[in-house]
A and B are shown apart, each in its own frame.
Chain A
Amino acid sequence: MSFGLSFWLSLLAVAGLGLIAYVGVAAAHLNYLFGIIIPYAAFATFIVGIIYRVLRWGARPVPFRIPTTGGQQKSLPWIQQNKIDNPSSTLGVVVRMALEVLLFRSLFRNMRTELRGGPTLSYASAKWLWIAGLAFHWTFLIILVRHLRFFLQPVPSVIAIIESLDAFFQVGAPLLYLTDVFFVLAVTYLLVRRLFIPTLRYISLPADYFPLFLILGIGVTGVLTRYFFKVNAVGVKELTMGLATLSPKVPEGIGVIFYIHLLLVSTLFAYFPFSKLTHMAGVFLSPTRNLANTNRAKQHVNPWNYPVKVHTYEEYEDDFREFMKDAGIPVEKE
């Protein structure tokens, strides 16, 4: 599929979702559908879908122990082992995985290869993808945690603390959250690099543009909801608490922008299990990262290991006995 088609199709899909929510609420007054039914359905799809995916992966055997080793192995006692990038213990694996999941260790290794005349190849530092990736994922998480205030009553103090830290600079009314700024910036960067780095644009599919537009749409509508349209927060909380306590109700007077935001969020939840976004769960199961490099020290069992046809020594000797005897190589049968 051409770049143009992938790009516009994805953009139009997200814009279309916005329009559907707008028309659905502002004109058709389907508040119950967009406020209650779709969010419930999306959330259920997410939970069931992601569990299904993880169970499906988990059911697949790991026939071979194939860690990618990023440092010195454990061998002779006087050789310093790299216990994290080449772990030989469970603790080492846990640390390696924690660095991978929390700090994107492998992405931190990234470098940019450049070819100059000569030819001369050089490898420049390239940390922007790592920085933007970290900023995007961490701000997303913090924003998600902050949103728990809509689903819990009373609001736990830990969420209040996160909110006050996030609004550290005390700018604007309502107070500006730093995470909102960095989130939108990071997603924009991820989109821009996909559009302007030729090789990256070449490998990109609608499945890459669509989630970016969707997430960007969520960010933008969220910002609009909070800072610009300043929708009725009490009403929103009534609705979300209704969802959380399984006694759904749709209060009047919530701005339509909120419903647009909610539909985009619902779409993300429902889309998640069917998409590349499952890397969130999948990374934990990656056999090149989550296995200790103890291949020769401990046996790793392949559940479907089966006997194979071999060329036995007896057959070999039968083929070459005379040659062997002539060369003075010992044989079993004279």
Chain B
Amino acid sequence: MAVKKPEELSKIDYKPPRTSWMDTPTEFKKGMFCWGNKEKSLKTVDFPNVRTWSVADEDWKLPGNWKEIFLEGLKERLSKYRSFQLFLDICVRCGACADKCHFFIGGGDPKNMPVLRAELLRSLYRKYLTGPGKLLGKIAGGRELTMDVLKELWYYAYQCTECRRCSLFCPYGIDTAEITILIRELLNLLGLNIEWVAGPVANCWRTGNHMGLLPHTLKDTVESFKEDLKTITGINVDYSFNRKGAEILFVNPSGEYFDPNGNITFMGYMLLFHEIGLDYTLSTYTSEGGNFGFFTSNEMAKRLHSKIYAEAKRLKVKWILGGECGHMWRVWHQYHNTWFGPVDFLEEPVSPITGTKFENTKSNKTVHICEFTADLINHGKIKLDPSRNDNYVATFHDSCNPARAMGFFEEPRYIIKSVCNNFYEMPSNTIRENTFCCGSGSGLNASEDMELRLRGALPRANALKHVREKFGVNTLANICQIDRATLQTLVDYWVPGVAVRGVHELVGNALVMKGEKERTTDLRGDPLPGKEVQE
């Protein structure tokens, strides 16, 4: 697809149209939306209105009573979520959220202002479910639910990455992610998903991971990592799949098995676990920590992740360790304990190496790899040579979900500073709780919506450009597989010359292992500083 040049794409007009938003029809712009789901993806998980359809078609092949299904679904969800009812009721349209959304900043479409994105639904809520709206219609801010309105909802529900940046700035904590999540649930009642979400969901249901990797493929993949690591370090690292009686079940995003950038992060974990002698197992059945079900419906999210606990129980492990992934940790942290608790068949997590009790997860028994590693480093249990990462001048991109759903700021920074000599922060308005989305979250990391993604990444890339120019930053470290898989393309477009790297890749590089040979390359096979071959 021909994409505009950066100079052209960044000419953004924030001035809204002259006609009011309700009277401005939504134009579907190519490059700004994902393809609709395929028949087989819905069928695999028994979703309603199974059929193949195309966004470009006039007819989206909906059941005759679609309006009724939508409105009944809306009513039901209002009764089940205080958040939803409250967020539809109390917005004062102060506009504080308007210029906080990366898609609005990078695109200028007024319906991407979080407030207006929510108003798309709020107007229907008023019209059909509130007294003043029923009585006064448009005067009370209500509007009819028509096919065009439904399509508009779909278009903008899949132009929100559920990053929650707006919710930080809202004086009432109105969370657009919550609204987007529930709009998507409603759309899924009508079989209106995107294939980039529905496909991975179906894969995950069947094979245990989004990528659809079968057990032997997973084994072969990890075996090939093992061979690479043998070449690089001279050490035979151990691993196992579906092993009963292991102390810890390790679950990571499957993109790490598939995406070349993620592969290296995974190799970093393998080296670390080998070095400390961790008694852990991987599982082919639960070979996915991420959850695209979460971008479909809360029920689908729960359906996919129950396997993690079932597997932990079957394998009789003590607790669960989770890899680097953004939305995965939103789901693990904010939802798992509610869906699956009490998790009384596991033990309160204790690091077998340092003896540290992870008090903050004593109920759910899931530890983030960065909590685990930061504790190891703090106790001096691993030997690190940060000079091996001296080719890297790093900054850290806080992924939305660990940032605004956990407050996960210091752990990864502590690790990076321990394994990397050159570290610089991006401007404070763009990191930590203020962080910007990569532009590809919540299942929007397809290729057909590249313009949307490029626009969404502008604020992140711009802050990166600042530190690239000021400090010579050439590495964007992060703890999210979506970042690793998608951000490189976007960074190449806006800020060429910056590499996107997982934190545990940097750990793997710096880790000085017992019995290793003199390393000459990093985990990518590129020469270490000072080890370049002289011509």
Contacts and interface: CB of A to CB of B under 8 A. Distances in A.
Interface of A: 1-3, 9, 53, 56-58, 60-76, 78-80, 82, 85-86, 88, 100, 104, 106-107, 109-113, 115, 118-121, 123, 129, 133, 197-200, 202-208, 274, 276, 278-279, 282-283, 285-289, 293-302, 304-305, 308-313, 316-317, 319-320, 323-324, 326-330
Interface stretch (B66-74, B151-159, B212-220): B212-220
A203 B95 contact: yes
Given A63-B338, A297-B359, A104 B171 contact: yes
Given A293-B406, A313-B314, A329-B284, A197 B95 contact: yes
Contacts of B100: 113
Given A113-B105, A115-B12, A279 B360 contact: no
At the interface, is chain A mostly helix, strand, loop or mixed?
loop
Contacts of A297: 359-364
Contacts of B359: 297
Interface stretch (B34-42, B83-91, B260-268, B496-504): B83-91
Contacts of A208: 92-93
10 contacts: A69-B403, A72-B409, A75-B410, A119-B6, A199-B16, A207-B140, A282-B89, A282-B172, A296-B333, A300-B338
Contacts of A66: 83, 175, 178, 334, 405
Contact of B206 (A298, A319, A329): A319
Interface residues on B, range: 35 or more
Given A297-B360, A297-B363, A310-B310, A76 B216 contact: no
Contact of A109 (B46, B82, B169): B169
B303 A199 contact: no
A274 B306 contact: no
B60 interface: no
A299 B90 contact: no
A210 B79 CA distance: 29
Interface in B302-359: 302-303, 306-307, 310-311, 314, 332-339, 341-342, 356, 358-359
B96 A9 contact: no
A30 to B, nearest CB: 26
Given A68-B168, A73-B406, 11 more contacts: A9-B139, A60-B85, A104-B171, A112-B99, A119-B458, A203-B110, A203-B116, A283-B90, A311-B206, A313-B314, A328-B219
Interface stretch (B49-57, B237-245, B445-453, B520-528): B237-245
Contact of A278 (B90, B115, B403, B432): B90
Contacts of A85: 407, 433
Contact of A74 (B175, B205, B360, B405): B360
Contact of B96 (A80, A107, A207): A107
Contact of B172 (A70, A279, A316): A279
Contact of B216 (A2, A118, A205, A326): A326
B167 interface: yes
A218 B408 CA distance: 47
Main secondary structure of the interface of B (DSSP, over half): helix
Interface stretch (B18-26, B192-200, B270-278, B482-490): B18-26
Contacts of B371: 75-76
A82 B22 CA distance: 42
B492 interface: no
Contacts of B20: 1-3, 202
Q: Would you list the 9 A-B pairs with minimal beta carbon distance, nearest first? A: A73-B407, A69-B407, A119-B10, A288-B173, A60-B82, A296-B361, A282-B90, A327-B216, A202-B16
Given A75-B371, A205-B93, A327-B220, A80 B410 contact: yes
Contacts of A207: 140-141
A297 B93 CA distance: 36
A74 B406 CA distance: 9
Contacts of A328: 219
B89 A278 contact: yes
